[in-house]
Structure 1
């Protein structure tokens, strides 16, 4: 593992973060479905401008080392309190276990609660016990059961 995490900066992604994010996502899903570069860049810019979406990054010395996406969703129940989803959580393999992922998710949950969200939800692969312990250590519970339905043609999660 490289030196210190003292200079970690957690912030919203900017357009110049595209390549660094792509490198992190390659570690998240090594066999991801390919997308045309132009379409991928167009999607990235859509994410950056989508209301309610905050693509957070953890940066050390100019290098992206972690990311997650926070989505705040308006809601007509719970007194109209919104809820939040966290997706695509990844820390660079060289930095796992250093506290960066924990710091990143604390910022994400703080942002969600500051936005009035009554809960933050995320899904984790059912066999990924290390990730489950990580999320539980941050206060997430398995109080509900997650379900997903994949579109035809998309591979099942490994």
Structure 2
């Protein structure tokens, strides 16, 4: 089952995100995200457990006739459930939300060395039109799996 998460999912979301990064913020940060206008967190559940999730931020925009754009972050599937189609459902849920909001594009970034690049390409994402760049105030993350 895939649905948008609520503040009641905070502890489970933080536990799942620990598979992505070890320094997860307290559940109160999750509640802040849930309450943020234009932010949606979708999750897949199996047997009552949260096993995959991702965050969509819809951003206001001055170009493209004022149509918003989406940014997807914090994409994670529990290691025991990878490769079974759960994230495909989560991403479809977020794509539907973005298109219903009339977003003109959805962006995401993935690490160069992760196996996720092929997954994103199968969903229609492409890196051949733009060059992603970033500046960080925190060190780049290292691979972390529990």
TM (norm. structure 2) is 0.91
Q: What's the secondary structure of 2:136's corresponding residue? A: coil
Structure 2 distance, partners of 1:62, 1:156, is 33
Q: Does 1:12 align with 2:13?
A: no
Q: What's the secondary structure of 1:150's corresponding residue? A: coil
Runs of 4 or more off by more than 3 Å in structure 1? none
Offset at residue 41 of structure 1 (A): 2.6
- RCO higher in 1 or 2 (8 Å CA, sep ≥ 6)? 2
Offset at residue 34 of structure 1 (A): 5.9
Q: 1:132 to 1:41 in 2, by over 3 A?
A: same
1:155 aligned residue: 139
Q: What's the secondary structure of 2:111's corresponding residue? A: coil
**RMSD of Structure 2 on Structure 1 (CA):** 1.3
Structure 2 distance, partners of 1:23, 1:120, is 26
1:113 aligned residue: 99
2:23 aligned residue: 33
Unpaired runs of 5+ in structure 2? none
Q: Does 1:131 align with 2:113?
A: no
CA contact (8 A) 2:43 2:50 kept: yes
CA contact (8 A) 1:125 1:157 kept: no
Unpaired runs of 5+ in structure 1? 1-8
Larger Rg: 1
CA contact (8 A) 1:83 1:120 kept: yes
CA contact (8 A) 1:54 1:71 kept: yes
1:4-153 mapped onto 2 (5 Å cutoff): 9-29=1-21, 32-33=22-23, 35=25, 40-128=26-114, 130-142=115-127, 143-151=129-137
Offset at residue 157 of structure 1 (A): 2.9
TM (norm. structure 1) is 0.84
